[in-house]
């Protein structure tokens, strides 16, 4: 086998909390993560030549691309002799959206290289390599429902969350993650998520408990320029969502539904005004 295509799923933050600022300048986070069915398709082909070629829609396929970084890290850390690669990414997950699109592409690249070149590589080792590429990449390697801690690289697999429908709506702007972190003052954060309660609800399959605890503390430090995030949240509630929040550092907002028909109606309403609206489900 010299070529393989794998899905690269988007992620949502069911919860996101910021615990403390570390001496290295990063923050310790606590997040409950969930993959959803919106996906990129990543095809990795061994070309037999030299170098890494990457096509990724409108996103540069050069050394700044996380998929390229992931391939370089794989070769450097596994001892596999570098060879020519072609990485072709069909993009559907919006960039700079809080859904780990680039990280998921990198994770799919790592999983593809393991299957093509080093199938005996353990999952823990692949996640260690993934952590060298980006904070969300280890989670995207693992996927499913998980608690992510530290910078996001310390993972605990959870029982699968209840199967919910998720409508995703990305407004037409980006939010700088460093800007949001610069506005964080740990002692002044309020309206934090109940992470322990979310973990308990997931463990017991408590749908109401999960819905009641969806929350992202980054929403408390959003500048006024991005108040459209809250407008979209209000619209989701009017459209029957049982829970709604921004994912990651935004700006994508999601609404959760038990009923497929209600999710479809919300999708139709929001997609009339927002081109980047997606109808998905938990996977």
Residue 26: predicted pLDDT: 86
Give the span between the Cα atoms of 256 and 34, in whole angstroms: 12
Those residues with Cβ within 8 angstroms of residue 199's Cβ, 6 or more apart along the chain or in another chain: 32, 147, 158
- Give the SS3 label for residue 262: helix
Catalytic residue among 11, 69, 91, 215: 11
Clarify whether 11 is annotated catalytic: yes
Give the span between the Cα atoms of 112 and 271, in whole angstroms: 33
Q: How do the pLDDT tens digits run along the chain, 283 residues long?
A: 799 999 999 999 999 999 999 888 889 999 999 999 999 999 999 998 889 999 998 888 899 999 999 999 999 999 998 899 999 999 999 999 999 999 999 999 999 999 999 999 999 999 999 999 999 999 999 999 999 999 999 999 999 999 999 999 999 999 999 999 999 999 999 889 999 999 999 999 999 999 999 999 999 999 999 999 999 999 999 999 999 999 999 999 999 999 999 999 999 999 999 999 999 999 9
3 state SS for 124-185: HHHHHHHHHHCCCHHHHHHCCEEEEEECCCEEEECCCCCCCEEEEEECCCCCCHHHHHHCCC
Residue 38: predicted pLDDT: 98
Residue 49: predicted pLDDT: 85
Residue 23: predicted pLDDT: 87
CB 55 within 8 A of CB 61: yes
How many contiguous H segments (helices) and E segments (strands) does the chain have?
Answer: 9, 11
Which helix (H) or strand (E) segment is 12 a member of? strand 3-21
Kindly state the tokens that stand for 29.
């986070």
Catalytic residue among 40, 105, 136, 215: 136
* Sign of the torsion formed by the C-alpha atoms of 124, 128, 133 and 136: positive
Give the span between the Cα atoms of 205 and 271, in whole angstroms: 31
Residue 273: predicted pLDDT: 98
Clarify whether 136 is annotated catalytic: yes
Give the span between the Cα atoms of 213 and 41, in whole angstroms: 32
Residue 58: predicted pLDDT: 83
- Give the SS3 label for residue 86: strand
CB 32 within 8 A of CB 14: yes
Residue 183: predicted pLDDT: 94
The pTM (predicted TM-score) of the whole model is: 0.95
Which helix (H) or strand (E) segment is 105 a member of? helix 101-117
Give the span between the Cα atoms of 249 and 37, in whole angstroms: 20
Task: For the chain, list the domains and their CATH numbers.
Answer: 3-157 (3.30.230.10), 165-281 (3.30.70.890)
């Amino acid at each position: 086998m010299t070529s393989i295509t794998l899905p690269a799923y988007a992620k949502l933050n069911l919860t996101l909390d910021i615990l403390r600022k570390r001496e290295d300048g990063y923050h310790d986070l606590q997040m409950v993560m969930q993959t959803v069915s919106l996906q990129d398709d990543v095809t990795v082909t061994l070309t037999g030549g030299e170098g890494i070629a990457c096509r990724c829609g409108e996103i540069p396929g050069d050394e700044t691309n996380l998929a390229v970084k992931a391939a370089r890290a794989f070769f450097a850390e596994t001892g596999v002799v570098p060879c020519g690669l072609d990485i072709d990414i069909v993009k559907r997950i919006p960039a700079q959206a809080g859904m780990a699109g680039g990280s998921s592409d990198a994770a799919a690249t790592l999983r593809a290289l393991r299957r093509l070149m080093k199938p005996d590589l353990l999952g823990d080792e692949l996640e260690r390599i993934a952590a060298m590429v980006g904070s969300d990449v280890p989670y995207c390697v693992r996927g499913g429902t998980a608690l992510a801690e530290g910078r996001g690289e310390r993972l605990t697999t959870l029982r699968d969350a209840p199967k919910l429908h998720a409508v995703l709506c990305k407004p037409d702007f980006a939010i700088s993650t460093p800007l949001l972190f610069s506005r964080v003052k740990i002692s002044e954060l309020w309206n934090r998520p109940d992470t322990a309660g979310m973990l308990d609800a997931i463990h017991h399959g408590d749908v109401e408990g999960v819905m009641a605890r969806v929350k992202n503390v980054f929403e408390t430090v959003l500048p006024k320029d991005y108040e459209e995030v809250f407008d979209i949240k209000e619209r989701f509630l009017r459209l029957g969502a049982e829970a709604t929040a921004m994912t990651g550092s935004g700006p994508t907002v999601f609404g959760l539904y038990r009923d497929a028909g209600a999710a479809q109606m919300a999708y139709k309403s929001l997609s009339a005004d927002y081109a980047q609206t997606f109808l998905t489900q938990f996977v």
